[in-house]
Amino acid sequence: MPQPLSSSPALGEITAHLDSLLESERYGSPASKGAPDISWNGLQVAARREDSHVAKVGLAVDSGLSILQHAADAECDLLIVHHGLFWGSCSPKISGIVGEKIRTLVQGGCSLYASHLPLDGDPTFGNAAQIARKLQLQEVSPSFFFNGVPVGVTGRLAEEGARESVIDEARKTIIPAHGETLVRTLSFGTPTVRTIGIATGSASSLLPNAKELGCDLFISGEPKHESYHLAKELRMNALFAGHYFSETFGVRAVGEHITKEYGIPFLFIDEPSGI
């Protein structure tokens, strides 16, 4: 196990900081009627006491068993994920694969923190905001409000660009050079693009919202079947660049913030789903 730095934060301190930073309470929890998020955001598994020090942080999109084992083997004290273990009215039974995942974390001394919609819609650290920054969009603002909270952003290119070149640049920005994923481009809108809407993951149902917001292009991760006719009927352009790859940006941004704030290293555990 890595030796804690003299200035390394306690588990309770760093998770409280993340709760405040990402405004987790704003997105509610499954226990709150009408809450926007079905994820139990925040510290989901405390593998050690909350006053124990965190000397190394792991980051990942998902909380698959192989990822949890990787984090434990790498001696991470805390793993921050976008997709956690507990959702909605989850069963109170800690058995089967869930039990195995928790045993892996506890035996490895690695706590688990999850941030779902807060890490989609946050105007600084969110997946959409980070993609907008990398695309050098201007006038970026929180958008695609769901039960009163944003889950994406809109922004504008400095200059109007040809649809194909803008989509190609966005694809290259989101998907690593050697990344393999299901990509779908729907070109039913204007031949040029200036205003872009971004809502990552599985947000294809927000196509009508993008149209209402005056977007020339909507960027998301994973399309549903009905997206084709929806985009065609709305005369919209859309890029679906993969659920996984569209949601690697938020956790990475949080990791960079933690290193800057506390001076502790982070490890991004990359396990693309191809979806």
For the chain, give the number of residues.
275
Whether 2 shows a pLDDT value over 50: the answer reads no
Whether 227 shows a pLDDT value over 80: the answer reads yes
Mean pLDDT of 223-247: 97
Asked if 207 contacts 218 with a C-beta cutoff of 8 angstroms, the reply is: yes
Close Cβ partners of 204 (under 8 Å, ≥ 6 residues apart): 220, 222, 223, 224, 226, 227, 230, 238, 240
Same domain, 142 and 90: no
Q: Which domain holds residue 134?
A: 120-246
Per-residue pLDDT at 222:
95
- Per-residue pLDDT of 91-137, as tens digits, reads 778 899 999 999 999 999 999 999 999 999 999 999 999 999 999 99
Choose between 264 and 4: higher pLDDT: 264
Per cent of the chain over pLDDT 70 is 97
Per-residue pLDDT at 261:
95
Whether 1 shows a pLDDT value over 60: the answer reads no
Q: What is the count of structural domains for the chain?
A: 2
Same domain, 186 and 221: yes
Query: Which pLDDT band, with edges at 50, 70 and 90, does 31 fall under?
Result: confident
Mean pLDDT of 86-92: 85
Per-residue pLDDT at 165:
98
Boundary of a domain, candidates 116, 131, 151: 116
Angle CA(119)–CA(144)–CA(235) in degrees, nearest 5?
Answer: 130
Report if residue 75 sits inside a domain: yes
Asked if 185 contacts 228 with a C-beta cutoff of 8 angstroms, the reply is: no
Mean pLDDT of 143-170: 97
Per-residue pLDDT at 5:
45
Same domain, 90 and 126: no
Report if residue 125 sits inside a domain: yes
Same domain, 62 and 38: yes
Same domain, 241 and 215: yes
Per-residue pLDDT at 29:
81
Per-residue pLDDT at 7:
65
Same domain, 71 and 183: no
Boundary of a domain, candidates 116, 144, 161: 116
Q: What is the CATH number of the domain that holds 212?
A: 3.40.1390.30
Same domain, 46 and 31: yes
Report if residue 269 sits inside a domain: no
Report if residue 37 sits inside a domain: yes
Whether 145 shows a pLDDT value over 50: the answer reads yes
Mean pLDDT of 174-182: 88
Whole-angstrom Cα Rg for the chain: 19
Asked if 74 contacts 267 with a C-beta cutoff of 8 angstroms, the reply is: yes
Report if residue 253 sits inside a domain: no
Report if residue 1 sits inside a domain: no
Boundary of a domain, candidates 116, 141, 158: 116
Query: Which pLDDT band, with edges at 50, 70 and 90, does 90 fall under?
Result: confident
